[in-house]
Amino acid sequence: MNDDGKLFAGFAILEPSAGETHAAIEKTRVAIMVAATKTTNRKQYPKRRRLSLRVAVAATLLVSASLSWLTFTNDRLAMAEVIHQLIQANSLRCVSEGMAPNEKWFKIREFIYDREHGFVDQTYERNFVIRKEIDDGKHHWIQRQNNEVVTRGEGRDVARQLEKLLNPLGTDKKFQPDPSKDQVIDGIQCRYFFAIYDGNEQLTPQRVLLWIDDSNQLRRVMYEARIESKWVIAGRTNVEYDIDIDTSMFKPDFGNDAKVVDLNHLFDNMFPFDEAVHSEEHSGYILAVHELKRLSDFEYYLLISFRPTEETRRKLALSPGESPGSLRGGMRYEQKELPGTSQSEVALPLASAIADGVQVAAYLCNLSGIDAERIERARPQLVLFAHSRLWKEVKAISQVTLDVPLPDEKTPLQDVVRSTYDMIAMLESVPMEELYLVDEQEERVFVDREHFGGGYSETQREHRPRPSEVSFDTFFEHVQTSPSRQKKQITFVEQE
């Protein structure tokens, strides 16, 4: 949140619209949180304030060089060739540093690459490693500080990892040369390039400075932010090539107490769609109902998974952490034959989790209205948001109505809420792309911080606690008294 009270990234509503969902996902994936925004009054901040802004911007701009894809045309710079040169090196080390208020440098991230063995990517906070990634070309492991769970996934493309490291904003700004600022770095003559970004409502204006040697190898990146009409140094990244490396660091060894979870197949194993109660395909995605339980004559519980088909996965070629699309609850309205009578079936979200492009969501669905009849079939209407790369083939937003018979046996509400709460609690120790319970009576706002690219992104969760943040008794009480569930069924009585 900036001084004007504006949020930069996060989910602030229970069921966002398609535009809001896309914006939140994109901001969470690529936007680095900036505490300093454009100012119009130079006297607004004293010197101490400028220093604190410098620290905030350092956490924001480090390794956020918005490098474009690199060819040399008319001395303008784009970064494909630089990335290519990076991965052709036998070995290299990228060290990202921020500048503290006392103008001393401190390490934020270190990336070590060996062409034969893979890469190690470590994020630091107060000189301690808080996140470590190891990739040997076949598997990719992630370990977080104070977490005994280690995730293992498929090996990642090192070029993509470096692009994420050096270009988290993903822009294509061209870098202009300025020979007057060429300099010698580590005894090597380097050419100077720069690019200026005007900024917007979320990002302060930025200037990124590059030094490239005669072999087109990146040697240094400097990051600056425009504060009070002055360019202030925020951070830098230095690159060393052909370094000596202890190759044992590429072998995952997390200790005997670590529990390794196969993230790629986590939900495929927990919720196999071929064992689902019901499954169907829409717009290149598979919707599978894993649990369907009657709670009363007018309410039922739905546990559903949403994932792209194998063909859709191939088309999207998703990068790690990229959302393939999403599924949200909706409302089905039905006009009855008798004038003045109608009913609506609403899917109220109870919990959601996303990992490796598979979303699992729990809903409480209830029927209300005049002359409402006992539910015999579950017919919830859900909203499918397709990935933008599929919009030429399918609708961006689709309404999907399921039609599945309900069992006659009734299950207590507490049982399904308990099982949902326990499921989310079990997954909380595993790094997830999305994980929360839905509690519309929860007044606290929770903040998630994800470090990457030398900076971090922040996502705010409103009405979306996790089990570690709310007890089951409190959560169940809120579910029972939820205003959205208090709609009463009204039976029409014909007048004689």
Q: pLDDT digit string (tens) for 87-119?
A: 889 999 999 998 888 888 999 899 999 999 999
Dihedral of the CA atoms 239, 243, 247, 248 (nearest 10)? -80
User: Distance (Å, rounded) from C-alpha 93 to C-alpha 121?
Assistant: 10
Torsion of CA 314, 319, 320, 326, to 10 degrees: -70
Q: What average pLDDT does range 320-348 have in this prediction?
A: 74
Does residue 142 have a pLDDT over 60?
A: yes
Mean pLDDT of 125-132: 85
- pLDDT class for 31, splitting at 50, 70, 90? very low
pLDDT band at 459 (very low <50, low <70, confident <90, very high): confident
Q: Which residue has the higher pLDDT, 253 or 306?
A: 306
- Render 342-411 in DSSP notation, one character per residue: EEEEEEEEEEEEEETTEEEEEEEEEEEEBT-----EE--EEEEEE-GGGTTTS-SEEEEE--EEPPSSB-
Q: What stretches of 145-275 adopt beta strand conformation (E)?
A: 149-154, 176-177, 183-185, 188-197, 206-213, 218-227, 230-241, 259-262
What pLDDT was estimated at residue 3?
38
Distance CA 351, CA 188 (A): 55
pLDDT above 80: residue 152: yes
Better-scored residue on pLDDT, 3 or 292 = 292
Q: Are 94 and 450 in contact (CB under 8 A)?
A: no
How long is the chain?
496
pLDDT band at 56, cuts 50/70/90?
A: very low
Range among 58-67, 352-361, 406-415 rated most confident: 406-415
Distances (CA, A) of 2 to 82, 202, 234, 330, 395: 35, 9, 18, 33, 36
| Longest distance between any two alpha carbons in the chain, whole Å | 100
More confident residue, 277 or 75: 277
- Angstrom CA distances, 62 to 1, 41, 110, 233, 427, stand at 19, 26, 12, 10, 31
- Comparison of pLDDT for 163 and 119, the residue scoring more: 119
pLDDT at 26: 33
Most confident of 302-316, 370-384, 437-451: 302-316
Q: Is the pLDDT of residue 466 over 80?
A: yes
Distance CA 180, CA 219 (A): 17
Domains parsed from the chain with CATH numbers: 36-257 (2.50.20), 263-485 (no CATH)
How much is the mean pLDDT over the chain?
77
Per-residue model confidence (pLDDT) at position 86: 84
Six-digit token pair at 317?
């070629």
Residue 487 has pLDDT above 70, yes or no: no
pLDDT attached to residue 67: 38
The DSSP secondary-structure symbol of 186 reads: T
Distance of CA 332 to the CA centre of its chain: 30
DSSP 324: -
Interval 337-354: pLDDT, tens: 555 556 788 899 999 999
Q: What is the pLDDT of residue 127?
A: 83
Q: How confident is the model at residue 192, as a pLDDT?
A: 94
- Closest C-alpha to 267, from 423, 132, 421: 423
Count H helices and E strands in the chain, helices first: 8, 28
